[in-house]
Structure 1
């Protein structure tokens, strides 16, 4: 009996997670119908309606949905637990629906970024399927389609939140985070051109800016800030405290992702790392550049960003060289990040309505992950 208990606990946890995902996914078709009804009300032809429907369905669901689900989870913690972490109630159906709509707005933002990003990177596949612009008959129409994914956010916010006191804050938040993410994309594009390798443009400072602006704001801060507004939190200092925790957490997540790209097990993480061949301004290469000998630097200039396995192997050998040892440097970075983030979480004053569990739930999902 005792040996099967942990497995049963894990199975129950997995089942709960699947149920939460399905409940969230079930909201999306309702939003699609609202958007299509809007096109109908504007007299758009059936062909345009079906194109938009396919655009929405192809590009928005299907990913991990971590950002959208984080909104629901955070609203649930803020509204349904007390300062001691004890559960006090369940979300009402209207509360759940509004939280889920905010979550799907973030997933629409993600879809907008990915459709455009795939074109900029000339990528071929996304989530195991052809990138939207590679789908037969789409091509450069995908540029306008990405705009329409973004526009859906503001239609849904207006329809469902216009009457709420925090509506203006939501608009400001989505606009600000979109601009911040685009700034991160700009730095990435002009620093790490896949077709013109120039390692002199790389630095840990550039990497910090790229991951902070391109990933951390919209993937970590935005879901929590949306939930805080919905929960009635208005104190600007609490939003700053949340950002002070979530932005370093987002940076740690991306550094971890960069490390797993080079050292993760492809069968576990579900993909083969391509950062070296794609000339990515990733954390490992920037650390290597700080410690490389002149001979190692010459080899990196010759082999980094080249589309062949032999060159990639040369770079990975340098990563593991005794004077560099990326695995040990990452272990030290991970411990330092965890300690600093944990200390900031401990400073959260729960009497303000903010909850430490909001941040520990994020950290627990990320710390020492292998996928």
Structure 2
């Protein structure tokens, strides 16, 4: 079935020996586009409204993004399979990771009540807008949230379907399932932390980072790629695990910094969402730990202040958000977090030093470790 998936993608040029990152991403994008076109046609034949629903899902999947999860999975596979191994049979598995990622993003945006993602309206805002435009009855925001949840669910089902089209040993499914469970577990801990920030700590914020981000962004994709090669060994699995955990945590720590200090025009997301909701990120937990009593008082939100209602009322003013960001800087937490990022990148690179993988993959993973943890978005 893998060949069926790729027939429409052949003209895009499947990358082989010495492929550039752009060629790989192009192939992944083409695989997704071909798969989604068939899914849209199937749902459109049932009812035009379902076709519109599916096209919205497609647009969210193909709206851009760094495609990090497929890229890490590719180099995890390439490191063992080698440059001569054909990519076509395993490409659907790499593309499936983007569908799972869309599932996670759409649900995360609903939980955080975010307005934008990748510079575009989030799924629930898109559906709320459709509700208003069509002058339907009922609450537009409720319809938007419900529809977005279903979009996320659909993307998760699609991810399973696309993964099944890859030529993959049974152990691949075990890594994939573990990755999904860890991502959902991390997301629940993230939600729980927002409801009891006073009970949170730097250590617990890092636990969330390991499960919500590191696992499904770097660690498990790498190990899934290894499993796809059919040549698993304990040394490589251990090296990928250590590298993935360290670089994945560093990736999330950078995200914490961008959530407060990032430029929305670059990140594609609103500034200060974490501050507005009181999310107990590692940055905020570290700031509270390092803060003077006066600074800690400024960083503490009362329950009403931590809420960002759907109608836009309440919450912190822009000036208050700016002040909180300034206080966090004054505690020294951002500089400390930068040090933690550097330590984790170094640990991740060191884990690859003796791993029995091809040199081109080692070099690519070292470059990725630096690039994804020093990004502007």
TM-score, normalised to structure 2's length?
Answer: 0.77
Choose 71-80 or 217-226, whichever is displaced more.
71-80
Counterparts of 1:358 and 1:16 in 2: how far apart (Å)? 11
Query: Could you say if the C-alpha distance between residues 231 and 38 of structure 1 is closer, same or farther in structure 2, counting changes exceeding 3 Å?
Result: farther
In structure 2, the residue matched to 1:359 is: 365
Q: Distance in 2 between matches of 1:335 and 1:131?
A: 32
Note the C-alpha offset of 1:231. 1.7
Select which of 329, 336, 341 maps to 2:343.
336
Q: Distance in 1 between matches of 2:226 and 2:98?
A: 18
Q: Does 1:127 align with 2:118?
A: yes
Partner of 2:149: 143
Q: Tell me, in whole angstroms, the C-alpha distance in 1 between the residues paired with 2:113 and 2:106.
A: 11
Partner of 2:30: 26
**Superposition RMSD in Å:** 3.0
Distance in 2, matches of 1:123 and 1:332, equals 29
Q: 1:224 aligns with which of 204, 218, 222?
A: 222
1:248-299: CA deviation from partner (whole Å, max 9, x where unpaired): 1100111122123334455555555312123122222111111222222222
Aligned to 2:287: 288
- Unpaired runs of 5+ residues, structure 2, are 1-18, 132-142, 307-314
Q: 1:280 to 1:354 in 2, by over 3 A?
A: same
CA distance in 1, matches of 2:245, 2:52: 37
Determine the structure 1 residue equivalent to 2:332.
325
Which secondary structure state, in structure 1, belongs to the residue aligned with residue 232 of structure 2? coil
Q: How many residues align?
A: 332
Residue 262 of structure 1 aligns with which residue?
Answer: 260
1:297 equivalent in alignment to 2:303? no
Aligned to 1:84: none
Partner of 1:311: 320
**Aligned-residue offset at 1:61:** 1.4
Contact 2:69 2:98 survives alignment (8 Å)? yes
- Pairwise CA distance, 1:175: 1.7
How far, CA to CA, are the matches of 1:350 and 1:119 in structure 2? 40
1:118 positional shift:
2.0
Partner of 1:278: 277
1:369 alignment counterpart: 375
Distance in 1 (CA, whole Å) between partners of 2:87 and 2:284 is 43
Deviates more, 1:111-120 or 1:128-137: 128-137
Q: Deviations 1:167-204 (Å, cap 9, x if unpaired)?
A: x22222222111111111111111114xxxx5413311
Which residue is equivalent to 2:100?
109
Q: Is residue 193 of structure 2 the alignment partner of residue 191 of structure 1?
A: yes
Determine which structure has greater relative contact order: mean sequence separation of CA pairs < 8 Å that are 6+ residues apart, divided by chain length. Answer: 2
Q: Deviations over 1:304-336 (max 9, x none)?
A: 844212222332332233xx3234323432332
Match of 1:98 in 2: 89
1:233–1:49 Cα change, 3 Å: farther
Stretch of structure 1 that moved more, 200-209 or 133-142 = 133-142
| Normalised TM-score (structure 1) | 0.78
Change (3 A) 1:79 1:58: same
Structure 1 alignment gaps of length 5 or more = 1-14, 82-88
Mark the CA change 1:141 to 1:113 in structure 2 (over 3 Å): closer, same or farther: same
Q: What is the rounded CA distance, in whole Å, between the counterparts of 2:356 and 2:96 in structure 1?
A: 29
- Counterpart Cα distance in 1 of 2:115 and 2:373: 31
Distance in 2 separating the partners of 1:317 and 1:142: 35
Aligned to 1:63, the other structure's residue is in SS state coil
